[in-house]
């Protein structure tokens, strides 16, 4: 015989570690598997984690709760990205956006080059990471978020923003 199990929640990204950085990632979850679902389930309460320059999207219907966060004494179900940023103090330079892939059915998860996206040039340089998943050279100053470096349509003009800071 087997064991009957009842599950009441699901999550896309489970975090239970101390310290570290999470940056330049693209997290997209287009399914809800249990009555309570979370894009991020963060069960650690250190303030030494640095999360930034990430892109998130929850695309299922009904939409899952954005995140679960335990701060050491209280657990919170944080319903959307803005609430996640406010409660956790993380992801100040991150975005919430629906990513359109080149061909997700065919397994090509590179962003569509004709659809504006904040993936384009919104990453930060990571020491030692000079190429993408395909061996393409990363931009040394404004790399793309995610696994692919490409010539995507920017959501806004990154060069204009950058030049405002260098003048």
Q: What is the pLDDT of residues 88-134, one digit of tens each?
A: 888 999 999 999 999 989 999 999 999 999 999 999 999 999 999 99
Distance between CA atoms of residues 28 and 118, nearest Å: 14
What is the share, in percent, of the chain residues with pLDDT greater than 90? 47
* The model's pTM: 0.81
Spatial CB neighbours of 58, under 8 Å, sequence gap ≥ 6: 29, 30, 39, 64, 66
pLDDT at 166 over 60: no
Per-residue pLDDT reduced to its tens digit, 52-99: 999 999 876 666 688 888 888 888 888 899 999 998 888 999 999 999
The DSSP annotation for 11-48 comes to EEEEE--SS-EEES-EEEE----SSEEEEEEE----S-
Q: Where are the alpha helices (DSSP H) in 45-131?
A: 81-88
């Amino acid at each position: 015989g087997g064991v009957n199990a009842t599950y009441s929640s699901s999550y896309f990204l489970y975090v239970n570690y101390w310290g570290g950085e999470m940056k330049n990632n693209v997290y997209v979850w287009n399914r809800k598997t249990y009555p309570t679902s979370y894009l991020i389930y963060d069960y650690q309460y250190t303030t030494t984690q640095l999360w930034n320059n990430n892109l998130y999207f929850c695309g299922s219907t009904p939409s899952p709760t954005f995140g679960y966060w335990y701060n050491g004494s209280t657990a919170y179900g944080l319903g959307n990205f803005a609430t996640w940023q406010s409660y956790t103090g993380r992801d100040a330079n991150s975005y919430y956006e629906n990513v359109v892939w080149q061909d997700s059915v065919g397994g090509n998860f590179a962003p569509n080059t004709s659809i504006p996206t904040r993936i384009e040039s919104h990453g930060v340089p990571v020491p030692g990471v000079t190429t993408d998943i395909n061996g393409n050279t990363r931009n040394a100053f404004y790399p793309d978020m995610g696994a692919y470096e490409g010539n995507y349509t920017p959501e806004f003009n990154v060069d204009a923003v950058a030049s405002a800071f260098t003048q």
